[in-house]
Structure 1
């Protein structure tokens, strides 16, 4: 065996009490001599265990990323494809009249509601038309907007009530 340890540089003496393949100073093996030992020597000294280099967790992280990407990109294939129910189309939307002014914010919101949901309506400006103002007063209007859907009168902008009245004709 080697008389000088390649790890710590200790010179081995003849009266060392450790096996020939082990350094008396640092205790490390001189070389991987496990394969060169006879079966009797292996039993006497035991097996030299060399730690295995496993490469850390990077391969598991890579595997997890690949699996996640696979799930993400195949999601449309395994998700249940439910066709949304087709909206019930009712024929004959009732007449909708909007009594409003140009400057009113709620009147603007009413117009946007009608445009967004595809509701046909007729607008009457109560500041520009005396006839519209008289009809507004007859309907009990105290302010604007006043919305008439068929025979139903809605004072002010009430989106929930409008949705309830116009549900069959709202698109989307």
Structure 2
């Protein structure tokens, strides 16, 4: 099973697309909303990111909704 995390916000369209893709494909993920949880924002900054979404699949970081890279990392 893949371990998927997404750093997101409610107003981010790319974040919504990514979560819709995960939901449509029955992929479980952990969401870290950077505007609702201040510690999530701090983690994002510690990792060196200032934009969203940041998706982490099995330890691999993806900046933005890069569907081809996501599919490769989840072995589709």
Matches within 5 A, 1:92-107: 93-107=1-15
SS at 2:72 equivalent = helix
1:140 lines up with 2:61 in the alignment: no
**Matches of 2:47 and 2:2 in 1, distance apart?**
17
RMSD: 1.1
**Structure 1 position 139, deviation (Å):** 1.9
Task: Answer 1 or 2: higher relative contact order, Cα 8 Å, separation at least 6.
Answer: 2
**Structure 1 position 101, deviation (Å):** 0.3
**1:110 corresponds to which of 3, 14, 18:** 18
TM-score (norm 2): 0.92
TM-score (norm 1): 0.42
- Number of residue pairs aligned between Structure 1 and Structure 2: 76
- Runs (4 or more) in structure 1 with deviation over 2 Å come to none
1:151 lines up with 2:59 in the alignment: yes
The gaps in structure 1 that reach 5 residues or longer are 1-92
**Structure 1 position 121, deviation (Å):** 0.0
